[in-house]
Amino acid sequence: MEEGGVDNREKLLYNITTMLANVFFPLPSCGGRGEGDGAKGSRLSVLIVIAKPKQSNDRKGEVTVINSLDRALRILEILGNSDNNIGVSELGRKLDVDKSTAYRLLATLSARGYVEQEPETKKYTLGLKIVELSSKVLDKLELRNVAKPFMKKLVQQTDETVHLATLDLGNVVCIDQEETPSMINVNMAVGREAPGHCTSIGKVLWAYLKEEELDYILKKKVLTRCTARTITSIPELKLHLSKVKEQGYALDDEEFTIGVRCIAVPVWNYKNKVIASLGVSGLAVNVSLDKVAELVKITMEVRDRLCLKLGHKK
C-alpha cells in the first residue's frame, strides 16, 4: 500500500472520530450555543455518514474493509442479482481481480456451502446455505411479529407474564416477552438463555427434538440442579420429556426458581415443525397446581390461533 494512502486513511479516521466525539461527548459551550439548526444539521450529517457511507468504485480506498471478505460478499451479491449462473472468468472481471483469486474465493465459499458449481457448465450459483440462513432469519422475524398480538391476548386472559422461546444450536433462548401489568411478575430478559431441562419453555422444545438431536445436546450439557425439584438425571429427563410430548405441554413446578410455576406449549409452523415454545409464568401462589389445567387450556387455544396464522394445519 502506498504511503499516501495510509496518510489519507489516518486523516479520514481522525476526522470521523472527531465528529463522533463532538456529537456524543461535546465540550462545554463557550458561546452559549444551544440546540439550534446548526447543531442539528451537524448531528444529522454524522448519522448519515455512519448509516450510509459514500459509495466508491475504488474498493481499495474504503476504510476498515477486509478485501478478501468484501470480495466474497460481493460474489454472493453478484450471483444473487444475476438471472444466470456465472463462470470464474466473468466473476473475476466483475470483481476486478485475476482468475486465480476469483477461483480461491469461490472455492472457499463452495466449501462452506454458500455457492455451488454446475458440473456441466462449471459455472456458479448461490448454494443452499444461503437459503438455510435466510430462512432462519425470516422465520425468526416473522415469528416475533406474528406472535406479538397473541402474546398480548394471552396476558389479558391469564394476567401472567408470557414468553416466546426458540432453540439456537440446542440452547433455549427467550426471543420475546409480554409482561403482566400486575405489580409483581416473572421477568426473563429477551435474548437470555434458559436451561432446557428445568424450564417449561425449554422442556417443550427439547421434547419435540429427534432422539439423536436430543442425545447430541445432552452430551454437551450439564443438568445443573437449580432447586430441589430439578431433574438432573438424563434417563429421568428423557422419560419426563416423553410425557411432555405425549400430553402436549410442559410444567415447570418450581424446578428452575423456587416460588415460580410455569407452563409452556409447542408452536408449529406451516412445515408442521415445532419452531418455538409459548409459555406462561407466574408466582406459585397465583399459578396453583389446581389452576394448571385451565391455564394449559387457555394457552393452547391462543397457540392454535397463532399456529393457524403461521400456516400450520392440523
| CA dist., res. 23 & res. 18, Å (int) | 9
102 in the same domain as 142: no
User: Is residue 314 included in any domain, yes or no?
Assistant: no
User: Is residue 14 included in any domain, yes or no?
Assistant: yes
Which residue bears the cell 474465493?
105
Tell me the average pLDDT across 119-143. 81
pTM: 0.58
- Cell for 283? 408466582
In total, how many domains does the chain have?
2
DSSP 289: G
Domain extent, residue 254, equals: 134-309
274 in the same domain as 150: yes
Which secondary-structure segment (H or E) carries 274?
strand 274-283
Tell me the average pLDDT across 246-275. 95
114 in the same domain as 224: no
111 in the same domain as 186: no
174 in the same domain as 78: no
pLDDT single digits (tens) 256-269: 999 999 999 999 99
DSSP 29: P
255 in the same domain as 141: yes
pLDDT single digits (tens) 193-241: 899 999 999 999 999 999 999 999 999 899 999 999 999 999 999 999 9
178 in the same domain as 86: no
pLDDT single digits (tens) 159-180: 999 999 999 888 899 999 999 8
pLDDT single digits (tens) 94-116: 999 999 999 999 999 999 999 99
Handedness of CA 94, 96, 102, 104 (dihedral sign): negative
- Cell for 90? 466473468
Quick one: 169 exposed, middle or buried, by C-beta within 10 A (0-12, 13-18, 19+)? exposed
Residues 299, 304, 307: CA angle, nearest 5 degrees: 120
Confidence of residue 44 (pLDDT cuts 50, 70, 90): very low
Helix (H, G, I), strand (E, B) or coil at 124: strand
